[in-house]
């Protein structure tokens, strides 16, 4: 049973078959109603590297989607010199030394609880555990004072309600959807602004020290919240499931180098950003197809990544594919170090209880990023306990 395919079909029963069908029509295809679809990794990287021609602030781009919610000054919807200035100021936020320290501090207790449950032989739902820990990290980034797992679950669910408004076909949110999103994000922005005015050892306080305005800091906090929780929380259960289903759990638990390769390979297979959008601002040819100003370019990241084949941690990635799921060029994900720091810690804690068996799982419906509704694992080296 191909669980990854099942996850995509459950999340996007109509759009996913269409997306995969378009992949069979060529490296780049003009599709009425969608735009120009790029299915080739090398062409996708060319588009992403050219921020002057292919932009995020034009018709049909992410700017159409998120500017009404987050405001005009976030990296998700900016281009040109303004984008470069803001990105330069944000670059030092998530240097590896800071993200490592932040994750060590925030995740120490949750990981100890997770490891203890597995050692006692309990069946642990990795979906719930990953959501709680992802929300704990992002709440620290934003400056929220949340102390309980229940509060972290609630925070994650708030973000999930916003992100679930978007499908693979969504061009913009309706006024009602914008209002609902603002009802979630405005209180978080207030908390972020309070942290911005406080201690410079916090992420938000460091933004003030780096010269960001209050509005820029609020927008950044909202963007981090929307993009930072879902990616990590959905990926961890899928990583463990892929290792389990391909008989690699024991190897990854015993070999840290293999685990690092498996994480990169699982990122390719799961493709946390299935599509990326750009708006064309000047005429150019891409892969022999002419695109014009105003055209919408849909980079089918999932098609680009899956073209390499099934999950295989031993196979190297070609240069054009390298971390394409996090973008490339001027918009490469600024939160990449933070996401990877979280993923490595949780993966090591889970695999530390190997050998593991999956006791139950089900695919989630009504989500943007395909994921499990639940995925329970139990350590076979521990006495059997009660299911989570």
- Residue 271 reports pLDDT greater than 90: yes
CB 112 within 8 A of CB 352: no
Question: Which phi and psi (to 5°) does residue 168 adopt?
Answer: -65, -15
What would the pLDDT profile of 62-102 be if each residue is shown by its tens digit? 777 777 877 766 666 666 777 777 777 777 788 888 899 99
Question: Which phi and psi (to 5°) does residue 203 adopt?
Answer: -60, -45
Average pLDDT in the chain: 89
pTM of this structure: 0.92
What pairing do the DSSP bridges indicate for beta strands 296-299 and 35-38? parallel
Q: To 5 degrees, how large is the angle CA 100–CA 70–CA 85? A: 65
CA 136, CA 120: separation in Å to the nearest integer? Answer: 24
| Domain-wise residue ranges, the chain | 3-379
What would the pLDDT profile of 112-168 be if each residue is shown by its tens digit? 999 999 999 999 999 999 999 999 999 999 888 888 999 999 999 988 888 888 776
- Residue 384 reports pLDDT greater than 70: no
Q: Which residue has the tokens 């295989």?
A: 312
CA 192, CA 17: separation in Å to the nearest integer? Answer: 40
pLDDT of residue 242: 97
pLDDT of residue 387: 45
What would the pLDDT profile of 182-225 be if each residue is shown by its tens digit? 888 888 888 888 999 988 878 898 888 888 888 888 888 888 88
CB atoms within 10 A of CB 385: 16
- Residue 377 reports pLDDT greater than 90: yes
Instruction: Indicate the helix (H) or strand (E) that contains 221.
Output: helix 214-245
CB 303 within 8 A of CB 19: yes
Q: Domain 3-379: what homologous superfamily?
A: Cytochrome P450 (1.10.630.10)
What would the pLDDT profile of 338-365 be if each residue is shown by its tens digit? 999 999 999 999 999 999 999 999 999 9
CA 271, CA 231: separation in Å to the nearest integer? Answer: 10
Q: In 3D, which of 77, 233, 247 has the Cα closest to residue 155? A: 233
Categorize the per-residue pLDDT at 282 as very low, low, confident or very high, splitting at 50, 70 and 90.
very high
């Amino acid at each position: 049973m191909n669980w990854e395919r099942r996850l995509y079909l459950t999340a996007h029963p109509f759009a996913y078959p269409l997306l995969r069908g378009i992949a069979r029509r060529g490296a780049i295809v003009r599709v009425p109603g969608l735009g120009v679809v790029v299915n080739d990794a090398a062409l996708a990287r060319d588009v992403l590297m050219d921020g002057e021609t292919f932009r995020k602030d034009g018709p049909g781009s992410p700017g159409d989607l998120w500017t009404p919610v987050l405001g005009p000054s976030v990296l998700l919807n900016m281009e040109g010199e303004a984008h470069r200035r803001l990105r330069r100021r944000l670059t030092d936020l998530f240097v590896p030394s800071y993200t490592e320290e932040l994750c060590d501090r925030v995740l120490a207790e949750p990981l100890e609880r997770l490891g203890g449950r597995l050692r006692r032989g309990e069946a642990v739902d990795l979906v719930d555990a990953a959501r709680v820990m992802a929300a704990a990290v992002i709440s620290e980034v934003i400056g929220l004072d949340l102390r309980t797992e229940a509060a972290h679950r609630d925070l994650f669910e708030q973000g999930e309600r916003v992100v679930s408004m978007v499908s693979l076909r969504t061009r913009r949110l309706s006024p009602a959807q914008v209002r609902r999103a603002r009802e979630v994000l405005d209180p978080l922005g207030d908390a972020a602004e309070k942290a911005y005015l406080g201690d410079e050892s916090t992420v938000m306080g460091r933004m003030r020290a780096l010269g960001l305005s209050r509005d820029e800091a609020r927008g950044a906090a909202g963007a981090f919240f929307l993009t930072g929780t879902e990616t990590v929380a959905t990926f961890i259960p899928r990583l463990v499931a892929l290792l389990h289903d391909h008989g690699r759990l024991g190897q990854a638990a015993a070999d840290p180098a293999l685990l690092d390769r498996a994480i990169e390979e699982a990122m390719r297979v799961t493709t946390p950003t299935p599509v990326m959008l750009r708006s064309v601002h000047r005429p150019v040819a891409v892969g022999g197809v002419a695109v014009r100003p105003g055209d919408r370019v849909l980079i089918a990241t999932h098609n680009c990544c899956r073209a390499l084949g099934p999950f295989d941690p031993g196979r190297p990635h070609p240069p054009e594919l390298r971390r394409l799921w996090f973008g490339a060029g001027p918009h490469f994900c600024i939160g990449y170090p933070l996401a990877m720091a979280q993923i490595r810690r949780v993966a090591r804690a889970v695999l530390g209880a190997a050998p593991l068996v999956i006791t139950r799982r089900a695919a989630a419906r009504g989500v943007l990023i395909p994921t499990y509704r639940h995925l329970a694992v139990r350590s076979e080296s521990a006495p059997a306990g009660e299911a989570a």
